[in-house]
Amino acid sequence: MPKKGNKRWQQSRQPMSQEPHDIADDGEKKNRSKKDIQLLRGFKDILPADQGPVQYLQTKATELAKFYGFGKIDTPLLEMTSLFRRSVGDVTDIVEKEMYTFTDAGGDSVSLRPEITASVVRAYNEHGMLNLPQPVKVFYWGSCFRYDRPQTGRYRQFNQFGLETIGEMNPAVDAEIILLSYLFLKEIGLKVEMQVNSIGCPNCRPEYKKNLIAYYRRKKRNLCGDCQRRLLKNPLRLLDCKEEGCQELKSEAPQIVDWLCEECKNHFMRVLEYLDALSIPYNLNSFLVRGLDYYTKTVFEILPVAPDDQPERRQSALGGGGRYDGLSAVISGKEAPGCGVSIGIERLVIEMRKQSVEPPAKKGPQVFLAQIGEQAKQRGFQLLEEFRKEKMAVGQMFAKDSLKSQLELADKMGVKYVLILGQKEVLEGTILMRDMEGGVQENVDLDRVVTEIKKKLKDGKIRSV
């Protein structure tokens, strides 16, 4: 128990049960417990003051997705490890070294999801959504987990907003996904550009891969160390390298577009036609490849537009996606084409700050209810309910007794009016209405105060317009 400490905590502390390991009676134990309660590395608390941007984004995302006919889906944070091994890919970095994997009490190997698409496709199959009118369009908003070294815009728990359209091959689907990704960011006020590519399908990609490997094998000596490994492990990623030497080699490397089969080429052309028709700014980037194995045909990334003063600065993607026509078969054995996108919320928030984009300021209550004395407190609670029924925001702090501190709080909240309810007023059935700007006060009937305040605020609005 606290020896001197703050009086104001003690009341509430008394009834708490004593946790045996938590009684810090000497320095050593105190230190240990301080460390034990530390935030886990790469994780983050989002405090009340920081909720604004996230909530704003969520509202925007939900509105957009719903308008276009996407229904919300929530899937568990935890899945069988094999789901991700099979879908994301066994030899990807994500699965190889970034998953939070453990054995549960029943002996199953389970993992915190490193991404959400696989779960959505799993749910699609598991709940027979292939019997619904196709395609099935869903969106999600939730946390993913990757055990990676934290840095700017990278956390071990991060949030993704995503859209998935499953059960349809039509290139209009790809276009819609790209369009919505673009619209979402544009409406938030971010300047972004889309990078688009097609990486073919199991019919044409192997042939291209063969050629790519052949090309690079001849130049192996000039490749950086990473790329020499990539050549063996994941040759497509050779195209992603930022080393100067590799960049040079890349410029003469075979390009996937030249190797696409008729079907893939056709599909890609039609997607691009849509993008042109919709005036979506995009760059064809024949070197764009993605880190997840399940992509086929269309792939894209959303990049922030580099600031004018440093156009060379590398930007990490705000989001990305593409088509995954083989994913369902890999997960369930049943064919179902699909296309989707996922967008990193934390990166969006960072980018908004970088581009000085402010979410519209949420206005707090315009009225504060102050009370003095027990009776007034009780009556105050009732009055507050009357305001709530009218859906009017009213600030209060019934935990405070002194009028002074309540007024201070009201001032900090920036309210226009403070309602002061004391013993005298309760007995008279009135309440004091104080205009915080001029300091003028008037007595109002307790029964009429809600309508009175409503009128005042409305008048003020008209005046200010």
**Rounded to the nearest whole angstrom, what is the least distance from the CB of residue 239 to RNA in the complex?**
10
Q: How far is CA 326 from the centre of its chain?
A: 27
The binder of RNA chosen from 422, 444, 446, 449 (CB under 7 A): 422
Percent of the chain that is helix, strand, coil (3-state, to 5): 45, 20, 35
The binder of RNA chosen from 121, 199, 275, 317 (CB under 7 A): 317
Q: Which token pair is 254? A: 């075979």
Long-range contacts of 439-443 (CB under 8 A, 24+ apart): none
**Rounded to the nearest whole angstrom, what is the least distance from the CB of residue 271 to RNA in the complex?**
19
Alpha helices in 255-344 (DSSP H): 262-277, 327-332
If one asks whether residue 316 binds RNA (CB under 7 A), the answer comes out as yes
Q: How far is CA 339 from the centre of its chain?
A: 19
Query: Contacts with RNA in 244-283 (CB under 7 A)?
Result: none
| 281 preceded by a cis bond (ω within 30 of 0) | no
Q: CA–CA separation, 140 vs 72, rounded Å?
A: 6
Query: Contacts with RNA in 128-157 (CB under 7 A)?
Result: 146, 148-156
Per CB under 7 A, which region of 78-86, 99-107, 212-220, 317-325 contacts RNA?
A: 317-325
Q: Which token pair is 329? A: 């078969």
Of 48 and 106, which has the nearer Cβ to RNA?
A: 48
- Number of residues written out for the chain: 465
How many residues of this chain interact with RNA, rule: CB under 7 A?
74
Query: Contacts with RNA in 195-224 (CB under 7 A)?
Result: none
C-alpha closest to that of 336 among 217, 190, 172, 166: 166
What is the pattern of x (binds RNA, CB under 7 A) and - over residues 161-200? ----------------------------------------
CB-CB contact of 172 with 57 (8 Å): no
Q: Which token pair is 76? A: 């568990």
Of 247 and 266, which has the nearer Cβ to RNA?
A: 247
**Rounded to the nearest whole angstrom, what is the least distance from the CB of residue 425 to RNA in the complex?**
6
**Rounded to the nearest whole angstrom, what is the least distance from the CB of residue 46 to RNA in the complex?**
13
Query: Contacts with RNA in 392-421 (CB under 7 A)?
Result: 400, 402-405, 407-408, 410-412, 420
In terms of Cβ atoms closer than 10 Å to its own Cβ (0-12, 13-18, 19+), residue 311 is: exposed
Query: Contacts with RNA in 89-128 (CB under 7 A)?
Result: 92-94, 98, 115
Q: Which amino acid is at 174?
A: D
Q: CA–CA separation, 169 vs 173, rounded Å?
A: 7
Q: Which phi and psi angles does 228 have, rounded to 5°?
A: -65, -35
The binder of RNA chosen from 13, 29, 34, 127 (CB under 7 A): 34
The binder of RNA chosen from 41, 72, 220, 455 (CB under 7 A): 41
**Rounded to the nearest whole angstrom, what is the least distance from the CB of residue 343 to RNA in the complex?**
6
Of 143 and 255, which has the nearer Cβ to RNA?
A: 143
**Rounded to the nearest whole angstrom, what is the least distance from the CB of residue 154 to RNA in the complex?**
4
**Rounded to the nearest whole angstrom, what is the least distance from the CB of residue 133 to RNA in the complex?**
28
Of 43 and 381, which has the nearer Cβ to RNA?
A: 43
**Rounded to the nearest whole angstrom, what is the least distance from the CB of residue 320 to RNA in the complex?**
4
CB-CB contact of 81 with 99 (8 Å): yes
C-alpha closest to that of 432 among 392, 361, 376, 382: 376
Query: Contacts with RNA in 432-451 (CB under 7 A)?
Result: 432, 434, 436-439, 441
